[in-house]
C-alpha cells in the first residue's frame, strides 16, 4: 500500500537542506518525505554558493510550475508543507487541487495582504554576489531579521549550513520594494473543495510578521473548507530550522493526525 507523501518547499535565502531534520522526522513517522529543490538548485549547498547563477532567473511562475509538475508526478496526492515563499506556493497548489492538505509556515503574503513597510528594506537588502539578479544576506543581516530570536552562535551555525542567495526577480514577484505582485501570489481563498490548510506564524517574525499571517487567515473566512491558525510565541522566521524546529514539526504531525491524514492511507 502506498505511503502518504509529504513534499517540503523551502523559501528564499535557504537551501533545500534546511528541511533535513523535518524529512528525517516525517520519514521516521512513516510518511514518504520529499524535499525537492527549486528549479536548477544543486543538491550540495557549497555548489549553489559557488555558482548561484541558476537562481538568478527564478520567478514565482517558474517556482510554482516546478512544484506543480512534481505534485502531478506522485501516485498519491501529497501533503504540501512550505515555509515563507514555499508557504505561498503551498497554498496556491492546494487551491489548485494538487495536494491533500497543506501547511504554510510564515508564508509570504497572498492576494492583497501587504508586507509591512520597513525602513531597513529587509526583503530587498543591497547585498549581491557579483550578479545584480541575486540578493544575499550577510551573517549579521540573517541574525537581525531571520534568526532574531536565536543566539549569535546558533544563528551563525544556521547561516553556514543553510543560507544561499535569493533571486531578485522572485522578491519582485512578491511585491517587495514597491513592485507589482505576481498573479501567482493570488490564491483561491473561497475554494470550498480544497483540502485542510494550516497556517503557522512566529510571533517574533520580522520578515513575515504574525499580523501578516493572521491577515491571510482572515481571507479564508468565506470558505467552508477547513483553515486553522497556529501562532508560536517567541519564534522568528527561522522557526523551521532553529533549535525549536521539533516543536513546530511535531505540532504539524499532530494536526495531520487529528485531520485523519496518516502515514498510510486507510484501506478502502
Residue pLDDT, tens place only, 183-227: 888 898 999 999 999 999 999 999 999 999 999 999 999 899 999
Contacts of 133 (CB under 8 A, 6+ apart): 53, 55, 56, 57, 167, 168, 169
Domains of the chain: 5-258 (3.40.50.1820)
The predicted structure's pLDDT at residue 1: 46
Which runs of E-coded beta strand occur in 61-163?
A: 79-83, 101-105, 134-135
The predicted structure's pLDDT at residue 172: 87
46-59 pLDDT tens trace = 888 888 777 778 99
Please give the Cα distance from 149 to 168 (Å, whole number).
26
The C-alpha cell at 134 is 541575486
pTM of the model: 0.94
pLDDT over 90 percentage in the chain = 72
Nearest to 14 by CA among 223, 159, 203: 159
Amino acid at each position: 500500500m502506498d505511503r502518504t507523501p509529504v513534499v517540503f518547499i523551502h523559501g528564499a535565502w535557504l537551501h533545500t537542506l534546511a528541511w533535513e531534520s523535518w524529512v528525517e522526522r516525517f520519514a521516521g513517522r512513516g510518511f514518504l518525505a520529499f524535499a525537492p529543490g527549486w528549479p536548477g538548485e544543486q543538491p550540495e549547498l557549497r555548489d549553489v554558493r559557488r555558482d548561484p547563477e541558476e537562481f538568478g532567473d527564478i520567478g514565482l511562475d517558474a517556482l510554482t510550475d516546478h512544484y506543480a509538475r512534481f505534485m502531478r508526478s506522485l501516485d498519491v496526492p501529497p501533503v504540501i508543507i512550505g515555509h515563507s515563499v514555499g508557504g505561498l506556493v503551498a497554498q496556491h497548489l492546494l487551491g489548485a487541487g494538487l495536494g491533500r492538505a497543506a501547511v504554510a509556515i510564515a508564508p509570504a503574503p497572498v492576494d492583497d495582504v501587504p508586507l509591512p513597510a520597513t525602513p531597513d528594506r529587509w526583503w530587498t537588502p543591497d547585498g549581491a554576489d557579483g550578479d545584480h539578479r541575486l540578493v544575499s544576506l550577510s551573517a549579521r543581516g540573517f541574525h537581525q531579521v531571520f534568526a532574531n530570536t536565536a543566539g549569535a552562535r546558533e544563528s551563525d551555525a544556521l547561516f553556514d549550513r543553510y543560507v544561499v542567495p535569493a533571486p531578485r526577480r522572485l522578491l519582485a514577484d512578491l511585491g517587495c520594494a514597491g513592485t507589482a505582485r505576481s498573479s501567482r501570489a493570488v490564491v483561491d481563498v473561497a475554494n470550498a473543495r480544497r483540502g485542510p490548510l494550516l497556517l503557522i506564524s512566529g510571533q517574533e517574525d520580522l520578515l513575515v510578521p504574525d499580523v501578516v499571517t493572521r491577515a491571510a487567515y482572515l481571507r479564508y473566512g468565506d470558505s467552508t473548507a477547513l483553515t486553522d491558525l497556529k501562532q508560536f510565541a517567541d519564534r522568528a522566521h527561522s522557526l523551521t530550522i532553529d533549535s525549536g524546529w521539533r516543536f513546530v514539526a511535531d505540532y504539524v504531525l499532530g494536526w495531520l493526525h487529528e485531520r485523519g491524514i496518516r502515514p498510510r492511507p486507510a484501506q478502502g
